């Protein structure tokens, strides 16, 4: 990738300008792919036993776009979607984009209070929801939140707690009274002509908002990152370009669609290249994902490191032929070198890439390349993506020298329009020059590769020494018994902070605290050796597989009765 910067000693880089951005709406890009590959396989949803060619998917998308128009949805109105991965999610994504309606992604793990906050804050006019998922009864939660559903005419809801909500579409074939079944939604399309849909679609432009994604803030309420067609269509396209996707590729997407990894890097990455989208299940399951790769002859696979660890450690993995795999993306956290080596050697993903970003940047701003060596793929998150800029600054806002840790900022087409109805939050995140401040600590080497040291708030200061959890985690992965590890800091009266390592062992392996401390003392500085260890089967994490270190801190503080020096 051509990276030019000035002067070279400063931590600034500009991505390649060789690839032109797509100046079109998501609907236009979708229609272009349908015209190019009408008989190609577009979508495979294994748990629903559904398969669509591009022409068939286009029929379903256009029918539901007309049905949404029949509900009275206007350009800029908000349509919430609260469901795990399924065909209807994908159809809703493209149908809403075609009519200029802003899709509001709602985390399938949300409970009543979180759901109420997001629906209220975004002002959703309609909601598409599953009947139930895992331990969540969506219908019951909505009935508690909006008791008026049962008594009022469908589509004319007037709810006290959610005054903007007009109605709820349920994916359940037989929902309770007051919910519009998905099957009946399709029937409404008959009242809207194809010409009316075309007129609406032709009235849209690519800088309009098309999506709101709520960032799971560790403090305060989640903020709704508002993203345009231009933001996310181009990001999906550029990610796919880096992977070398074509219409012959088949991508397994076990990551959640409600998150950018699924709906942008997955769905939009495929749509902009004519590649096949494959959903192995409604939520991640290592066995079903391996099965999908083998049976669908997949060429690409997405996941966060914990997902790849689960697949590698799946007892039946050897039964599945994964030799068709070539590429994919590991994101959400830096990948340990041992895991990367195994993914390349045992899962045949020789061109697997690392991507880094955040919801507010559509999401990807840095990515490794297909030919980057193993060390670059595990010690860095790659270089600045095409048509974007990156810089690393100190607390005064000045560029730091190459190799120096500072805050990573990104600028370009991918930066969100802003947080929905939150000008203060927007102003705090995006400065006047258009730079998005990530809150991540990073350094840039002479070739422009960026290494993430951790979140600002994750850095541990022990006895005046800076300890970067990421560095320690990488170190622990070299221990033969350790399958996964997370390092956090907790308060300590004597040193300011003390280090705690949460360890998950490979099946059939174990080690105790004293053995691990002795192992550390021979290999790393004494101040980096964890004072405490916690051995676990799993870590607290979000639905997207992101580790919740703040929860680990709370648990460790309580268990260790912190405050005693």
* Structure confidence by residue, pLDDT tens digits, 12-60: 999 999 999 999 999 999 999 999 999 999 999 999 999 999 999 999 9
Q: Does 215 reside within a domain? A: no
CATH number of the domain enclosing 147: 3.40.50.980
Note whether 181 and 317 are same-domain residues: no
Q: What is the average per-residue pLDDT within 276-288?
A: 97
pLDDT above 90: residue 562: no
Q: What is the average per-residue pLDDT within 118-122?
A: 97
CATH number of the domain enclosing 535: 3.30.300.30
- Among 142, 177, 205, residue at a domain's last position: 205
pLDDT above 90: residue 196: yes
Which SS3 state, helix, strand or coil, does residue 381 take?
A: coil
Q: How confident is the model at residue 1 (pLDDT cuts 50, 70, 90)?
A: very low
Query: Which percentage of the chain shows pLDDT scores above 90?
Result: 81
Measured between alpha carbons, how far is 485 from 462 in angstroms, rounded to an integer? 20
Average the pLDDT over each of 99-108, 347-356, 484-493, 521-530 and give the range with the smallest value: 521-530
Note whether 134 and 242 are same-domain residues: no
Question: Starting from the edge strand earliest in sequence, which strands make up the sheet with 12-14, in order?
Answer: 12-14, 388-393, 406-412, 436-444, 450-455
- Among 146, 171, 205, residue at a domain's last position: 205
Q: Does 217 reside within a domain? A: no
pLDDT, tens digit (0-9, with 9 covering 90-100), for 249-260: 999 999 999 999
Q: Does 6 reside within a domain? A: no
Q: What is the average per-residue pLDDT within 165-194?
A: 97
Between these two residues, 461 and 203, which has the higher pLDDT value? 203
Q: Does 213 reside within a domain? A: no
Question: Starting from the edge strand earliest in sequence, which strands make up the sheet with 383-384, in order?
Answer: 50-53, 41-45, 276-279, 250-252, 300-303, 327-331, 353-357, 364-367, 383-384
Note whether 201 and 237 are same-domain residues: no
Note whether 436 and 472 are same-domain residues: no
Q: Does 184 reside within a domain? A: yes
pLDDT given at position 522? 80
Consecutive H or E run containing 35: helix 26-36
pLDDT, tens digit (0-9, with 9 covering 90-100), for 417-437: 999 999 999 999 999 999 999
Residue 481 contacts by C-beta under 8 Å, 6 or more apart in sequence?
505, 506, 509, 510, 511
Note whether 470 and 532 are same-domain residues: yes
- Among 425, 455, 485, residue at a domain's last position: 455
Q: What are the two backbone dihedrals, phi and then psi, of residue 97, each rounded to the nearest 5 degrees? A: -65, -35
Residue 50 contacts by C-beta under 8 Å, 6 or more apart in sequence?
43, 44, 87
Note whether 484 and 377 are same-domain residues: no
In the chain, the number of structural domains is: 3
Note whether 243 and 306 are same-domain residues: yes
Note whether 432 and 484 are same-domain residues: no
Q: What is the average per-residue pLDDT within 305-333?
A: 93
- Overall size of the chain counted in residues: 565
To 10 degrees, what angle do helices 194-202 and 87-98 make? 70
Q: Does 7 reside within a domain? A: no
CATH number of the domain enclosing 387: 3.40.50.12780
Note whether 436 and 470 are same-domain residues: no
pLDDT, tens digit (0-9, with 9 covering 90-100), for 331-360: 876 677 888 999 999 999 999 999 999 999
Q: Does 319 reside within a domain? A: yes
pLDDT given at position 230? 98
Read off the DSSP letter of residue 189. Answer: G
Note whether 375 and 256 are same-domain residues: yes
Note whether 198 and 231 are same-domain residues: no
Q: Does 565 reside within a domain? A: no
Q: What is the average per-residue pLDDT within 311-322?
A: 97
- pLDDT, the chain, mean: 93
Between these two residues, 493 and 86, which has the higher pLDDT value? 86
Note whether 100 and 177 are same-domain residues: yes
State the residue range of the domain holding 324.
12-21+224-455
Measured between alpha carbons, how far is 472 from 304 in angstroms, rounded to an integer? 19
pLDDT given at position 413? 98
Q: What is the pTM of this model?
A: 0.86
Residue 157 contacts by C-beta under 8 Å, 6 or more apart in sequence?
146, 148, 149, 165, 166, 167, 168
pLDDT given at position 121? 97
pLDDT given at position 565? 42
Pull the structure tokens for residue 483: 């399958």
């Amino acid at each position: 990738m051509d990276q030019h910067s000035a002067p070279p000693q400063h931590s600034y880089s500009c991505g390649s300008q060789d690839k032109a951005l797509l100046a079109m709406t998501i609907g236009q890009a979708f229609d272009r792919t349908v015209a190019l590959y009408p008989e190609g396989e577009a979508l495979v949803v294994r748990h629903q036993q559904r398969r669509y060619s591009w022409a068939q998917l286009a029929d379903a998308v256009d029918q539901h776009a007309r049905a949404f128009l029949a509900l009275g949805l206007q350009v800029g109105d908000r349509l919430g979607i609260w469901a795990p991965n399924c065909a209807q999610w994908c159809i809703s994504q493209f149908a809403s984009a075609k009519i200029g309606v802003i899709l509001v992604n709602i985390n399938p793990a949300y409970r009543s209070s979180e759901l109420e906050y997001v629906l209220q804050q975004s002002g959703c006019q309609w909601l598409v929801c599953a009947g139930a998922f895992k331990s969540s009864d969506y219908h019951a939660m909505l009935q508690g939140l909006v008791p008026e559903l049962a008594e009022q005419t469908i589509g004319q809801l007037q709810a006290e707690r959610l005054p903007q909500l007009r109605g709820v579409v349920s994916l359940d074939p037989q929902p309770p009274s007051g919910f519009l079944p998905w099957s009946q939604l399709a029937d409404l399309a008959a009242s809207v002509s194809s010409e009316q849909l075309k007129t609406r679609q032709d009235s849209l432009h690519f800088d309009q908002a098309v999506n709101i994604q709520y960032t799971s803030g560790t403090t305060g309420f989640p903020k709704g990152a508002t993203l345009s067609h231009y933001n996310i269509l181009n990001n999906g396209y550029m990610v796919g370009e880096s992977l070398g996707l074509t219409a012959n590729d088949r991508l397994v997407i076990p990551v959640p669609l409600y998150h950018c990894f699924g709906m942008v890097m997955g769905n939009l990455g495929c749509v902009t290249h004519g590649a096949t989208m494959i959903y192995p299940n409604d939520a991640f399951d290592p066995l079903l994902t391996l099965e999908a790769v083998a049976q669908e002859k997949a060429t690409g696979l997405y996941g966060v490191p914990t997902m790849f660890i689960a697949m590698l450690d799946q007892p039946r993995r050897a039964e599945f032929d994964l030799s068709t795999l070539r590429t994919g993306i590991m994101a959400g956290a830096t990948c340990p070198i041992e895991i990367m080596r195994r993914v390349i050697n045992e899962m045949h993903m020789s061109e697997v890439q690392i991507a880094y970003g955040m919801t507010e940047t559509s999401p990807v701003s840095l990515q490794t390349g297909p030919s980057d060596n193993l060390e670059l793929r595990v010690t860095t998150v790659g270089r600045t993506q095409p048509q974007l800029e990156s810089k690393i600054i100190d607390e005064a806002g000045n560029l730091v020298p190459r190799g120096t840790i500072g805050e990573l900022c990104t600028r370009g087409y991918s930066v969100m329009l802003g947080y929905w109805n939150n000008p203060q939050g927007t102003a705090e995140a995006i400065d006047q020059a258009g730079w998005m401040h990530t809150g991540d600590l990073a350094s840039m080497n002479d070739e422009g590769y960026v290494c993430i040291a951790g979140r600002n708030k994750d850095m541990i200061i022990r006895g005046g020494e800076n300890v970067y959890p990421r560095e320690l985690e990488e170190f622990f992965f070299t221990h033969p018994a350790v399958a996964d590890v997370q390092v956090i800091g907790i308060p300590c009266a004597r040193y300011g902070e003390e280090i705690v390592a949460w360890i998950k062992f490979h099946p059939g392996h174990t080690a105790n605290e004293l053995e691990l401390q002795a192992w550390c003392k021979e290999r790393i500085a004494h101040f980096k050796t964890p004072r405490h260890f916690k051995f676990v089967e799993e870590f607290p994490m979000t639905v997207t597989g992101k580790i919740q270190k703040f929860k680990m801190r709370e648990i460790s503080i309580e268990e260790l009765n912190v405050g005693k020096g």
